[in-house]
Amino acid sequence: MADLRINLAGIKSPNPFWLASAPPTNSGYQVQRAFEAGWGGAVWKTLGDPILNTSSRFAAISFNGQRVAGFNNIELITDRPLDVNLKEIYETKKKFPNHAIVASLMVEPKQEKWHEIVKRVEDVGVDGLELNFGCPHGMAERGMGSASGQVPALVEKQTLWVKEVAKTPVIVKLTPNITDITATAEAACNGGADAISMINTINSLMGVDLDTWNTIPHVAGKGAHGGYCGPAVKPIALNMVAECARHSQINVPISGIGGISNWRDAVEFMLMGATGVQICTAAMHHGFRIVEDMIEGLNHYLDGKGIAAVSDIIGKSVPKYSDWGNLDLNYNIVAKINTDVCINCNKCYIACEDTSHQCIEMLSDASGKNYLRVWEEDCVGCNLCAIVCPVDGAIEMIEVPNEMPPMTWNERQAVINAVITSKVDTTK
Amino acid sequence: MTEHQQFLAERDKIDFFIQKGFRIQSVNEHLDGATVEFVHPNGDVTEVLLISNANARKYFSSLLIKQNPIGK
């Protein structure tokens, strides 16, 4: 059994699976049940001035039979008084001293407001704080959440105010509703953040009812944008984690969030630089006990690879992530159709002929049986045929040796620019 | 003509000059591809090719890097 413990900026937990700040961490009852199920940590549903919620709060997209491919909510932060939450945090920490309890916080961007809540929350023994600069709906209209998180100067200033009084590690949770998340991540670091977490939810409108013309969800016939999460956002979140992980000025641990639904997703986030992960939608879809599969799967994966501790995989894929300009233009792959496995559905042929590079041909053998063939010389290795193929193993993408040495766009432009500006010495 | 045949045709034109000892003197990239100027080492003969195929543009670029490994 591998060692699954993590230490995120001094916050220790028995495994990397934390519940994210959201409905599953609304109360002591829920967090204690989650810990009993095996979750290593929980970020308590955001504390602040208790709010008022609407009825009808969630919506989900099911896609081709997959329920909850994407999930949306218009629920705000806690609607319970702070002292009620603090009492339950204290009791939960007492029962589960080795599990991580992090308090998510959101107040108006005023120094005294931050000082007050930090002191009150730390008094009950939380292991850390997470500043919610990401919630995109409702609270943002009041200048909090993503309204703060979209302005690097506000992120830095509020982080500084928290750090003036905080005794526990401070995680800054970032909004994805911004062009370049590294700008706000860097601002958090400049403010003294001990760690960053990402992503919060993405601005979304889930749909419009074709009969009533109401938004989905709607509240008495009116809708407002919500926050999108779930499996559909994972690639967006993973990129943002990776961009921060490889950024030279962002040197704090990362807590990865966004569509993580199983141990495989968790491993991907950790390979791309996350020290641990936070999960919400998968727990809301399947219940707390999904963490059992996550722990078991992660253990098997690490044992199978001979890795003693999960912390050993953190960031191992980060050096493999770069800018497009550093990719090798002379690297070639082509599609190879395995005619023994192919069912001749022609999906690949149609995809290639209509929307790609017209390099798959339908032929007939001597017995009149149809088969598909790739013209490798014209195949650009786009992967589309393999993506649309419904049969595993029917199409492989294989590497083709190139007689030319590796050449990136950046290298190419450097030499061409040198030629343009100074003319290459032709006598060499 | 397929993309690959176009590549072979343009690569052959590039190779023709390279095999005769020409070197790439300048590259001008524009909307129609790249205009590549070749010059013979004795300096008195220059030739110009319009290279439009994407793989052919990779090809002459690789030759240019091989010829002058700037930035490597």
Q: Measuring CA to CA, which residue among A308, A211, A352, A281 is closest to residue A66?
A: A281
pLDDT of residue A213: 98
What is the least distance, in Å, from the CA of B49 to any CA of chain A? 16
Pull the structure tokens for residue A7: 């230490």
pLDDT of residue B42: 87
Cβ-count burial A360-376 (b if 16+ within 10 Å, e if not): beeeeeeeeeeebebbe
What ipTM was predicted for this assembly? Answer: 0.93
Contact A132, A75 (CB under 8 A): no
Q: Is A419's Cβ below 8 Å from some Cβ in B?
A: yes
Q: Rounded to whole angstroms, how far apart are CA atoms A135 and A137? A: 6
Q: Is A343's Cβ below 8 Å from some Cβ in B?
A: no
Amino acid identity, residue A240?
M
Task: Note whether B68 contacts A419, CB cutoff 8 Å.
Answer: yes
Q: Is B18's Cβ below 8 Å from some Cβ in A?
A: no
Rg (CA), chain A: 25
What is the least distance, in Å, from the CA of B31 to any CA of chain A? 16
Residue of B6, B8, B62 to mutate, testing the A interface (most A Cβ within 10 Å of its Cβ):
B62
Q: Rounded to whole angstroms, how far apart are CA atoms A146 and A134? A: 4
Q: Is B42's Cβ below 8 Å from some Cβ in A?
A: no
Pull the structure tokens for residue A191: 């403010």
**φ, ψ dihedrals at A70, nearest 5°:** -140, 150
Contact list, B72 vs chain A (CB under 8 Å): 411
Dihedral (Cα; A91, A105, A185, A311), 10-degree rounding: 10
Listed as ranges, residues in chain A with pLDDT below 70 are: 421-428
Q: Can you say how many angstroms the Cα of residue A285 is from the centroid of all Cα atoms in its chain?
A: 17
Q: Is A377's Cβ below 8 Å from some Cβ in B?
A: yes
In the DSSP assignment, the letter for residue B43 is: S
Exposure of A114 in the CB half-sphere (CA atoms within 13 A): 23
pLDDT of residue A139: 83
Exposure of A307 in the CB half-sphere (CA atoms within 13 A): 16
Contact A103, A44 (CB under 8 A): yes
- What is the residue extent of each domain of chain B? 3-67
* Predicted confidence (pLDDT) per residue in B21-36, tens digit: 999 999 999 999 999 9
Beta strands A170-173 and A207-208: pairing type? unpaired
pLDDT of residue B8: 97
Q: Is the pLDDT of residue B72 over 80?
A: no
Q: Rounded to whole angstroms, how far apart are CA atoms A413 and A53? A: 55
pLDDT of residue A136: 87
Residue A352 annotated in active site: no
Instruction: Give B71's pLDDT tier (boundaries 50, 70, 90).
Output: very low
Q: Measuring CA to CA, which residue among A239, A234, A288 is closest to residue A264?
A: A234
Closest chain B residue to A417, measured at CA? B27
Instruction: Enumerate domains of chain A plus CATH numbers.
Output: 6-319 (3.20.20.70), 324-400 (3.30.70.20)
Amino acid identity, residue A286?
H
Task: Note whether A426 contacts B4, CB cutoff 8 Å.
Answer: no
What is the least distance, in Å, from the CA of B16 to any CA of chain A? 17
* Predicted confidence (pLDDT) per residue in A138-162, tens digit: 888 888 888 889 999 999 999 999 9
What is the least distance, in Å, from the CA of B45 to any CA of chain A? 12
Q: Rounded to whole angstroms, how far apart are CA atoms A298 and A292? A: 10
Residue of A359, A402, A426, A428 to mutate, testing the B interface (most B Cβ within 10 Å of its Cβ):
A426
Task: Note whether A416 contacts B27, CB cutoff 8 Å.
Answer: yes
Percent of chain B whose predicted confidence (pLDDT) is above 90: 82
Please report, for residues A110, A277, A284, A295, the alpha-carbon distance to residue A264 in angstroms, rounded to integers and kept in the order given: 41, 12, 18, 11
How buried is A37 (Cβ within 10 angstroms: 0-12 exposed, 13-18 middle, 19+ buried)?
Answer: middle
How buried is B42 (Cβ within 10 angstroms: 0-12 exposed, 13-18 middle, 19+ buried)?
Answer: exposed
